[in-house]
Structure 1
């Protein structure tokens, strides 16, 4: 029975006051969290703080320069090369986010319908994702080589896929989709397998089969997974660097130079750590803003 006596009533009636117990294991839990907290502070918080500090100075890679305040950010606002790299990064995101999400969903739907060969198909589609970026880029450099590549041997075309401004970025995006779609397929497949069969059976009795079943059952129940895939893929696409740098090196006339590559060139070729840090901080804020906007839109859709 619930006790409704107030503390004053307890004193007057002589009923002992109940003591609020703290949950046990507080120091132990803090001790167990300590390794993560130390690593988080050391490898995440401290580098961010150091980058912000360097962005306010005119520093090189080897020495901290004089304090210049917001001069690097003022220069960044009028830097056409920076905004061109932002545009290239956004273009790459447009080329990859929606296709890799849609293809991952379609592949998951196809694999989920299999019975005997499901594990084989799942492993086959996921296999490219486990390859390192160096292997993926070397493979596609050979396949798309304009002189002796596989595409050239089959079609007879001599297109410099990674050497033309009009084809370099779409080709890099295609390679990225091929490389990463298997991971998204696994996420969607896990979501599909969590949908109860009884839901489909009840809907089938009401006439919801085929497209109606997907539209009114599968798609709404997969929306949380879709939100996760879109968010992860957007952040990953905005942080693109490795495959662009290896496949194109910035591309013809810098047509594929993304923000992280511009930051790399500024820091390690121009030896300007202060300005490179300003690029990093500004791009971090851009990614944070885009992610928050996307999260708000997806939350509204759900």
Structure 2
């Protein structure tokens, strides 16, 4: 107990207490300082009747649809291709992983320039004039593309680790029985890789629910709230409007949604594995 006491203390101070504090604040009309009177479930009633909340929730779910599964599938495909390389395997892997270690400010600056509507490289090459981060249709997909480019290297690394953990003897035995190509993948690779795939899907799901940095730096939630997501909505209410209690309510609902969706995803993936 003496050895684990520092960890338990840090866990209580920096996770358990803030979580309980957010729950407590969600039942008050407090400002950003945390001072306010108890108002029961008024914040929750207001939240569920507020159109902006539903806009933020739908945008968040749409962003997850654009990123979680595509990012996982792309990571798997690239991992399979990298392992087939005879030379420069480590160089190619490092090239894909390099964006993941870049700060989000650097990533958004790079793509803010590449996708700039006036002098951006993409519009210059394609001859288009799309305002990628200001267009109501393309803004959220553009942020999703930037996010995939930024984070897919981590998925590749996990998939490569999973692929290399599969014993070559299994492939050799299957080859002796006449299996090859797609049969090897669906009968050996995919079943053995499913635990890693399930983990990556869960990590992607949680990470994309908490999307904030890219949205804040690239679009600020615009245009016309087309890229407004849950955390940015909470930030606006808490830090810009000084509605600390209402912002806490948004945080509580977001946490409950993440827990519910994660539980559903876990049950579905476990059922598929079985």
> TM > 0.5 between the two?
yes
What per-residue deviation string (whole Å, max 9, x for no partner) do you get for residues 215-250 of structure 1? 100000000000000000011111100001110010
Are 2:221 and 2:229, in contact at CA under 8 Å, matched by a contact in 1? yes
Q: TM-score, normalised by structure 2?
A: 0.98
Are 2:31 and 2:245, in contact at CA under 8 Å, matched by a contact in 1? yes
Q: Within the alignment, does 1:68 sit opposite 2:39 as a pair?
A: yes
Are 2:59 and 2:226, in contact at CA under 8 Å, matched by a contact in 1? yes
Alignment of 1:103-252 (within 5 A): 103-252=74-223
What per-residue deviation string (whole Å, max 9, x for no partner) do you get for residues 25-60 of structure 1? xxxxx2221121111111110100110111111101
Structure 2 residues without counterparts, runs of 5 or longer:
none
Are 2:25 and 2:34, in contact at CA under 8 Å, matched by a contact in 1? no
Deviation at 1:281, TM superposition (A): 0.5
The range that moved more, 80-89 or 30-39, is: 30-39
Q: Within the alignment, does 1:273 sit opposite 2:244 as a pair?
A: yes
Give distance in 2, aligned partners of 1:127 and 1:63: 41
Alignment RMSD, CA only? 0.8
Are 2:174 and 2:184, in contact at CA under 8 Å, matched by a contact in 1? yes
The equivalent residue for 1:35 is 6
Using CA pairs under 8 Å that are at least 6 residues apart, name the structure with larger relative contact order, 1 or 2. Answer: 2
For these two proteins, the number of residue pairs brought into alignment is 273
Q: Within the alignment, does 1:51 sit opposite 2:43 as a pair?
A: no
Q: Within the alignment, does 1:299 sit opposite 2:270 as a pair?
A: yes
Deviation at 1:152, TM superposition (A): 2.3
Q: TM-score, normalised by structure 1?
A: 0.89
What per-residue deviation string (whole Å, max 9, x for no partner) do you get for residues 53-85 of structure 1? 111111011251111111111111111111110
Deviation at 1:295, TM superposition (A): 0.4
Give distance in 2, aligned partners of 1:188 and 1:94: 21
Q: Within the alignment, does 1:78 sit opposite 2:88 as a pair?
A: no
What per-residue deviation string (whole Å, max 9, x for no partner) do you get for residues 141-193 of structure 1? 00011111111221221110000100000000001011100000000000000
SS of residue in 2 equivalent to 1:31? coil
State the 4+ residue runs in structure 1 displaced beyond 3 angstroms: none
Alignment of 1:10-25 (within 5 A): none
Give distance in 1, aligned partners of 2:88 and 2:191: 27
SS of residue in 1 equivalent to 2:61? helix
Structure 1 residues without counterparts, runs of 5 or longer:
1-29
The equivalent residue for 1:93 is 64
Greater gyration radius: 1
Are 2:114 and 2:121, in contact at CA under 8 Å, matched by a contact in 1? yes
Give distance in 2, aligned partners of 1:224 and 1:244: 31
